[in-house]
Structure 1
Amino acid sequence: MQELLDKKQYFLDFGMNEEAFESLKSYAELLWAANQELNLFSRKMPAKDLVENHLLDCALAFPEFLKQDFQVLADFGSGGGMPSVLLAIMFKDKEVRIFEKSPKKRQFLKSVQSNLCPNLKIFEEVKESELEGVDLITARAFKPIDIILKLSRSYFQTSGKYLLYKAKSESIKKELSDAKLKENQYKIISLDNPLLEVERNLVFISKI
């Protein structure tokens, strides 16, 4: 995918090495080809938008994930693998658990697991028993923060940590208020997309 190659340096700047970028290329090609049959995202979406609005958008948070000490990561509502597959590529020595309800998306993710990322584990629904051993939870374009915390109540109560992809700070503040989190339990981290003038944030949550 030429559009991805053209943006290679941005991914390297956010922490990817050459080997990981080669795997990202393979994933992007699998994703683009499978989308023609499975409609994982809009078939009308240009490759440029996939790269800039989705793949690079996931990569913006890599520096924050690199700061975390974890062995097992969970991604709620992974869709076609963003950010879970990118994180599995970045952290190939870590286990990445994917929770995705859509059968067709799970079908695609299993092909990615077989061909590219053996460190993926794929589940249908979030269950507390399947969060045992998880050190960090992420989600992108999933549900409000209070719902995410309810889905992982026991994990949160036992010093759980989250890095959640979010957009506008105004909406984030409402979600945090609805979740009844104390100010010392979260941090809003601004993310800068070098190609798009859009507001992107990451919310770090930790039970203290």
Structure 2
Amino acid sequence: MHPFFPELKQGSQQLGLELSEEALNLLLKYQDALALWNKAYNLTAIRDPKEMLVKHLLDSLSILNDLPAGRLLDIGTGGGMPGMIIALCQPDRQCVLLDSNGKKIRFLKQFIADLKLKNVIAVQTRVENEDMIQELGQFDVITSRAFASLTDFITASTPYMNASSVIASMKGLVPTDEIELHKNQFSCKIIELKVPRLDEQRHLLLLKQI
């Protein structure tokens, strides 16, 4: 058994998730691969695996119960948060992980190949690349943990949206002013998240076009 298995299982249960043993083991394989690659390629500022468990795995898992169904795009996925974590827990959901950073996408492609994952692809591109927008098409759910500005995230997401798409933005504090700025275009549902062993505010914003 992986040394972090009990901790991850307990943390996921505290989030109201009933993940299979297989899903929990896949998540820990992902974290081990991320920690290994991180030594050479600097994929994430967090180096301590125990901290990764909380700030990457549990933090990303905290949105799982509130995500709408459907094909998912993770913009600015970095090392794969939250997109890879969603893909590992929901094998029936098609996920596309998008980032302009070559090292990070190489890591994700290698991990996808090693585990022969069928429901997720990693794409190196700039989000505004017209050809890629055409090629990838539209998504039901668009996530990101990377954007400081909600406005920037909305701008990046819009070309990939259909009429019923949901933007799922992971935030620390609620960006009240930005939500107000877009209230004529988007309705916004704010969900407060409680991440086990993380003493920081976390929120999920679900935005739908009006």
TM-score where L is the length of structure 1: 0.87
Quote the residue 2:24 is aligned against.
Answer: 21
Q: Structure 1 pair 89/99, CA: closer, same or farther in 2 (3 Å)? A: same
Give distance in 2, aligned partners of 1:203 and 1:88: 20
Query: CA offsets per residue over residues 110-157 of structure 1, 9 Å max, x none?
Result: 011112233212222224324424111000032422112212324446
SS of 1:34's partner is: helix
Q: Structure 1 pair 134/156, CA: closer, same or farther in 2 (3 Å)? A: closer
SS of 1:7's partner is: helix
Q: Please list every run of 5 or more consecutive structure 1 residues that lacks an aligned counterpart in the other structure.
A: none
Q: How do 1:2-151 residues align onto structure 2 when only pairs under 5 Å count?
A: 2-3=3-4, 5-14=6-15, 15=17, 16-42=19-45, 45-65=47-67, 68-70=68-70, 72-116=71-115, 117-123=117-123, 124-126=125-127, 127=129, 128-151=133-156
TM-score where L is the length of structure 2: 0.86
Give distance in 2, aligned partners of 1:93 and 1:27: 18
Structure 1 residue 25, shift from structure 2 partner: 1.2
Q: Does 1:167 align with 2:167?
A: no
**Number of aligned residues:** 201
Give distance in 1, aligned partners of 2:199 and 2:178: 23
Identity of aligned residues (%): 28
Show structure 1 runs of 4+ deviating over 3 A: 154-157
Of Structure 1 and Structure 2, which has the larger fraction of its residues in helix?
1
Give distance in 2, aligned partners of 1:183 and 1:195: 36
Amino acid at match of 1:63: N
Of Structure 1 and Structure 2, which has the larger fraction of its residues in strand?
2
Q: Aligned Cα RMSD in Å? A: 2.1
Q: Structure 1 pair 37/91, CA: closer, same or farther in 2 (3 Å)? A: same
Q: Please list every run of 5 or more consecutive structure 2 residues that lacks an aligned counterpart in the other structure.
A: none
